Amino acid sequence: MHLRLCLSPFLNCFTGYKVFGGDFVSTRYYDVIVIGGGIVGSTVARELSRYDIKVAVLDKASELPSGASRANSGMVHAGYDDEPGSIKAQFCPKGNLIYKNLREELDFTLNEVGSYVCALDKDEIAHLELLLEQGKKNGVPSVEIISGDELRSREPNASREIIAALWAPTGCTINNFEAVLAFMDNAQQNGVELFLETEMLDVILSQDKRQVVGVKTNRGMFLSPIVINAAGVHSDEVARMVGDDSFIIHPRRGDYFISDKYVGNLVKSFFFACPSEAGKGITVASTTDHNLLMGPTSIFQVDRNKTATTAEGLDQVIEGARRLIPPIPINMAITTFAGLRADPDTGDFVIGILKKPHGFVNVAGIKSPGFTSAPAIAQHIVERMKNELKDLVEFKPNRKFVPERRHIPRFAYLSMEERSDLAKEDPRYAQIVCRCESVTEGQVIEAIRRGARTVAAVKIWTRAGAGRCQGGFCGPRVIDILARELNIPREEVTRHGGHSRMLVGKTKEYWFREGRL
């Protein structure tokens, strides 16, 4: 507990510090603090939960995942995209394997559908050959180039313009919401504490700036000798707080469309246009929930908090998607979204343990294939921390570590027998809340029990509101259940925390205000 000792001079200089917003939490003490609860933060948190140490994950969002882990293509890449020898190439194929191994244990949805990169002309074929070569060097299994006709015999809706395709059978679609929740849920079951709506304001260093002592947040101080920077698109800002300016994140926005399920079967596998300077190109895929996903664009932008789509971006997506799969109909979209990728100027992942300040760990700039690589990166960095930071924290095994966890029952995908059993056990599993995605009241209540506090969180946990009517039907019902279960007035229910209240008051109230009656 030398930590507390070295803190005292420091604490003095912060007397009278004002906390912005949120409920003040008195100073808390941890062994490790993880900044950011995206796929990187959650996989790292789960790895750390194997040890008998006190871990806190802080995220400024009101629900996980937020940021790029929430808004992405939902793909586990095969690993042929990355330059052999790069850090990305080292972790991507490993991450691919880990997901497949953990699918049962952590109960998230992953479909081994394979992926195609499509070539529309000779230059693009040359590019496929390059990718093939890279794939082989990176150890990606069974990757091959097939003809356009072969592609169309497997995927009849593929464009006639496609002359060849790179087939990688190990590419998968993943429910990225479920995956992040799974890692974090399991980490929490094993003792990790999660703080949402907790925005990190600064990293606290010892007076000589040689040692990390914690972080300052809108909810008070979290003290810890180790701070892990998994702050995604903000990770360079966090690094600069400790004087590390070795990399800069250039946020790159990706706009996406999600279609109604009735066109979800237009493709079986993941389709990529040939990559360009800007990124992997527009993709078309059938998600794990059988919607068609189209996107992303790749647009540099300065604002790191803005995830607004643009008209040009959305037009690009539709145009690009139809170039691969021409039968995509108009009016099939049910929603659009945009995500910001954390694109580092170094061109590669920024993974490392700083010498100064001691205790600061970067897991930053985890851009594509970041989602795929995350579990491999987490294993790697925690292994290194055990050696390089053992003077700060003792990594004794957590004897109570339970590797398995179960997701909330996915009513829509259960057999009739399973549904029947569930409904018998708890009749709330026979009360529909979301008709489009067949989500029951039982699921919503379970999501709230596991920490969902907002309409968006309920959607992420259960898919209530993620369907064709986008919450038109279930919206009022979800507000009602949240209010009831959290014992708050309905007016206090938010869409995604902060000031995002769903309702502004009761009817008739207006006439009672300001002496109108």
By CB under 8 A, name the binding residues for other proteins: 257-258, 262, 305-311, 313-314, 329, 331, 333-337, 416, 419-420, 423-424, 427-428, 430-432, 435-436, 438, 440, 455, 468-473, 475-476, 480, 490-491, 494-513, 516-517
Contact (CB, 8 A) for 494 and 455: yes
Contact (CB, 8 A) for 466 and 459: yes
Residue placing its CB nearer to other proteins in the complex, 113 or 432: 432
Cis amide linkage into residue 93, ω under 30° from 0: no
Shortest Cβ distance from residue 482 to other proteins (Å)?
13
Helix axes 39-48, 176-189, angle to 10 degrees: 30
User: Coil, strand, or helix at residue 336?
Assistant: strand
Residues contacting residue 409 through CB under 8 Å, at least 6 positions apart: 418, 422, 429, 442, 443, 446
Residue placing its CB nearer to other proteins in the complex, 345 or 425: 425
Shortest Cβ distance from residue 244 to other proteins (Å)?
29
Shortest Cβ distance from residue 498 to other proteins (Å)?
4
Shortest Cβ distance from residue 351 to other proteins (Å)?
31
Catalytic residue among 77, 250, 380, 407: 77
Closest among 30, 41, 97 to 364, alpha carbons compared: 41
Residue placing its CB nearer to other proteins in the complex, 57 or 332: 332
Residue placing its CB nearer to other proteins in the complex, 348 or 491: 491
Residue placing its CB nearer to other proteins in the complex, 123 or 417: 417
Shortest Cβ distance from residue 471 to other proteins (Å)?
8
Contact (CB, 8 A) for 263 and 41: no
Shortest Cβ distance from residue 35 to other proteins (Å)?
21
Residues contacting residue 440 through CB under 8 Å, at least 6 positions apart: 411, 428, 429, 430, 431, 432, 433
Pairing of strands 226-229, 360-364: parallel
Residue placing its CB nearer to other proteins in the complex, 18 or 508: 508
CA 499 to centroid of chain Cα atoms: 23
Shortest Cβ distance from residue 476 to other proteins (Å)?
6
Which tokens go with 419? 């549904």
Alpha helices in 155-218 (DSSP H): 176-189
Contact (CB, 8 A) for 175 and 288: yes
d(CA 306, CA 310): 11
Closest among 181, 66, 56 to 495, alpha carbons compared: 66
d(CA 492, CA 501): 6
Three-class secondary structure assignment of 450-483: CCCCCHHHHHHHHCCCCCCCCCCCCHHHHHHHHH
Residue placing its CB nearer to other proteins in the complex, 25 or 432: 432
Active site residue 499: no
Residue placing its CB nearer to other proteins in the complex, 206 or 335: 335
d(CA 218, CA 202): 10
Residue bearing tokens 């993880």: 34
Shortest Cβ distance from residue 431 to other proteins (Å)?
5
Residues recognised as catalytic: 77
